[in-house]
Chains A and B, each alone.
Chain A
Amino acid sequence: MEEFIQSRFNYWIYVILMMIGLWGMIAKNNLIKKLIGMSVFQTAIILFYVSVAVKSENSSIPILPHHGHDYSPRAAAAHATHGRATSSEDLEDHHQDEHPHVRSHNGHGQHDSKYTNHAPKVPKADNYANPLPHVLMLTAIVVGVATLGLALAISQKIYREYGTLEEDELLEKVRAEDDV
């Protein structure tokens, strides 16, 4: 049982947050409380997406280590030609002119023996978290802030017009206006 709870802990929290958010949106009478519920609901979805992106325990954030340019094909080729003592960035332009097809050489490795020793490492998909859900949530968070701002602006306007944010009082006032 403990194992079962722990193995899907993020998903339990996501379900609970989603229920709280849904309760806030449906049951609460105050418009601001409804918006708070909406934000909680949004957070639950973000948690769900990020949890889906997780891989096994040895996977890392989706950013390659790049101090030695280990994974960069062009930098690896530059190292092969000019030696490790020279900065690869300085020579990139020059190098490109000489070998415009340096990438394909590296990809196959057999064409030119001097590239084979320094062929770039290809990142293993299992070692990094799935980047796609992170991207989706990155934009969703900022857009969420902007749309929440719009919702608050509309609530502010409603309060200025009717002097209340309680839904039932608002309905009464709107109906009274319609009757006139």
Chain B
Amino acid sequence: MMKKLAGIVVFMVGLLLFYGVSNVDDFPGWGDPDSPANASPLSQYFITDTIKDSEVPNMVTAVLADYRGYDTMFETVVIFIAGIAIFAVVRVSRNNSPVCGGNKDDEPDLIITTTCRLLVPVIQIFALYVLAHGHSSPGGGFQGGVIMGASFILVAVAWDLDTALGRFSEKAAIACAGLGIIIYAGFGLASMFYGKEFLNYGITHKLLPGVASPEMARYYGMLGVEVGVMFTVTSVMFLIYGLLSTRGRMSGGL
């Protein structure tokens, strides 16, 4: 009975969407440059004026970290809160919970650990490249952070979670998640000290030595906040894996 009802609801919604999308008069065609989304002055401004405003060739990064700086800051806060909430929901103390996961006496496989030893530094360098080159090629703090988090998760999969926690402890992960937001908000506050708006990095060229113009200050300000985003994303990804794979014990695991 309930399934039939659900089927009807899904079918009705699908029918409405099909009608809406196929309506040639109302819905813009595929790749139409004159569609409302593409022809809006805002999106055209982003394409034509980003390079003038901030010397950043990658418009996506510029919009993400500068024009929509508030949005990205609070997205980072959402990620941080999600990490803390997962911690609060599933974390249990090590002593009074049943052992889960594989046998701890198992030696990790030699081939796997040797490969990971070779791979992990390369992954981490690549993560830093994606972060630092996010202004002129696809990349940025979110992407770099996920790759960096994956490198720690790889260590945890290849050995066990305790080995990974030896490299990046639970306390350090939580501290780094908070530190990322402090870095982000710190760049915003730094521009307030010079009498400009919160997150208006253009003014920080007075603060940063060797940066001559407000445009380059925006460039480096974006890099700064992306570093903050990366700290938060890296540690939250690692925390999510660690907590979920061990049912909150943060020990042993898969």
A, B co-complexed: yes
Contact of B90 with A54 in the complex, beta carbons under 8 Å = no
Interface residues on B, range: 35 or more
Contact of B142 with A8 in the complex, beta carbons under 8 Å = no
| Total cross-chain contacts (CB, 8 A) | 194
Q: Known contacts A54-B31, A62-B60, A139-B71: does B21 contact A11 (CB below 8 Å)?
A: yes
Determine the chain B residues whose CB is within 8 A of the CB of A130 once the complex forms.
Answer: 37-38, 43, 47
Centre residue among B50, B82, B142 by max chain A CB count within 10 A: B82
Determine the chain A residues whose CB is within 8 A of the CB of B37 once the complex forms.
Answer: 52-53, 130, 132-133
Contact with B along A63-81 (1 / 0, CB 8 A): 1111000011110000000
Q: Known contacts A146-B240, A153-B90: does B247 contact A160 (CB below 8 Å)?
A: yes
Contact of B64 with A139 in the complex, beta carbons under 8 Å = yes
With the chains together, A62 CA to B79 CA distance in Å? Answer: 26
Determine the chain A residues whose CB is within 8 A of the CB of B2 once the complex forms.
Answer: 27
Determine the chain A residues whose CB is within 8 A of the CB of B240 once the complex forms.
Answer: 145-146, 149, 153
Contact of B60 with A126 in the complex, beta carbons under 8 Å = no
Contact of A56 with B31 in the complex, beta carbons under 8 Å = yes
Q: Known contacts A62-B59, A139-B64: does B89 contact A18 (CB below 8 Å)?
A: no
Nearest Cβ on chain A to B225's Cβ, whole angstroms:
13
A contacts with B: majority SS: helix
Q: Known contacts A56-B31, A138-B142: does B60 contact A8 (CB below 8 Å)?
A: no
Contact of B29 with A132 in the complex, beta carbons under 8 Å = no
Contact with B along A36-59 (1 / 0, CB 8 A): 000000000000000111111101
| Chain A residue with the shortest CB-CB distance to B64 | A135
B contacts with A: majority SS: helix
With the chains together, A56 CA to B29 CA distance in Å? Answer: 10
Q: Known contacts A8-B22, A26-B10, A157-B90: does B63 contact A135 (CB below 8 Å)?
A: yes
Does A147 have its Cβ within 8 Å of any Cβ on chain B?
A: yes
Nearest Cβ on chain A to B173's Cβ, whole angstroms:
14
Contact of A55 with B59 in the complex, beta carbons under 8 Å = no
Determine the chain A residues whose CB is within 8 A of the CB of B248 once the complex forms.
Answer: 156
**Chain A 124-169 interface residues, beta-carbon cutoff 8 Å to B:** 124-126, 128, 130-135, 138-139, 141-143, 145-147, 149-150, 152-154, 156-157, 160
5 residue pairs from A and B, CB less than 8 Å apart: A26-B9, A62-B60, A74-B213, A131-B59, A142-B79
Q: What are the 10 tightest A-B residue pairs by CB atom distance, in nearest-first order? A: A146-B82, A149-B240, A27-B6, A131-B59, A64-B57, A125-B44, A26-B6, A66-B57, A11-B21, A19-B14
Q: Taking beta carbons and an 8 Å cutoff, which residues of A are in contact with B?
A: 4, 7-12, 14-16, 18-19, 22-23, 26-27, 51-57, 59, 61-66, 71-74, 92-93, 96-97, 103, 120, 122-126, 128, 130-135, 138-139, 141-143, 145-147, 149-150, 152-154, 156-157, 160
Q: Taking beta carbons and an 8 Å cutoff, which residues of B are in contact with A?
A: 2-3, 6-7, 9-11, 13-14, 17-18, 21-22, 27, 29-33, 35, 37-38, 42-44, 46-48, 50-52, 55, 57-60, 63-64, 68, 71-72, 75, 78-79, 82-83, 85-86, 89-90, 136-138, 140, 142, 145-146, 210, 212-213, 215-216, 233, 236-237, 240, 243-244, 247-248
